[in-house]
A = this chain, B = another copy of it.
Amino acid sequence: MNRAESSLDTIDIILRTATEHFAERGLAGARIDEIARDAGVNKATIYYHIGGKDELYAAVFRENMRNSTERLLSNVEAKQTAEEKFKAYVQTMVENLRENKAAAPLMMRELASGAENIPQEGLQYIVKMLTTIIQTLEQGRQDGSFRDTNPGLTHLMIIGSIMFYTAGEPLRKKLMGLMGADFPMLEYTKDCDLARDISDFLLHALKP
């Protein structure tokens, strides 16, 4: 392996490991020493390649948002009708958040911190996602398949329910242990089931 490739691999494993740590413990709670240990590199290597804790965090956030946004946009654009696009939006959001377990915790911590550590580029990705769902709802409104609803509210329903479902898994486990199995708790094993239920529920609210 040549120098450039090995370098990229190192940066990649650092970012992957840091993503988990920042998601589980937050910016303040994560430890550079532990990230380095779990990534199998020396602490100074992180400083050499990426920079200090803040820059590492920004890089982690940016990469995660970039991946999610690119996939979301391309999946939605591939569809024609407003309803298909809406379903693709929900489905892809569910896939993104379930494949990358860190995404929801990262975003929720950012919201809790007043979005103070989101890098500029991260904001751009959020705008792209918002624009996509707004355009989809507008398309549906114009062709009569959707009611005239507040797009911001609809987006809140999508993002809120999926993020809370994803990040809420450990809490649900604790509650289940406390309540017994007969308590009707939400639990999906497949992405498509959750995405379908959310789509169905929200489309019921969106349709005239």
Contacts and interface: CB of A to CB of B under 8 A. Distances in A.
Contact of A157 (B112, B168, B201): B201
Contacts of A23: 112
A115 B170 CA distance: 6
- Copies of the protein in its oligomer: 2
Interface stretch (A55-63, A68-76, A173-181): A173-181
Chain B CB count within 10 A is highest, among A127, A156, A165, A197, for A156
6 contacts: A108-B108, A114-B171, A115-B171, A116-B170, A152-B185, A159-B160
A41 interface: no
A123 B161 contact: no
Contact of A112 (B26, B147, B204): B26
A168 B111 contact: yes
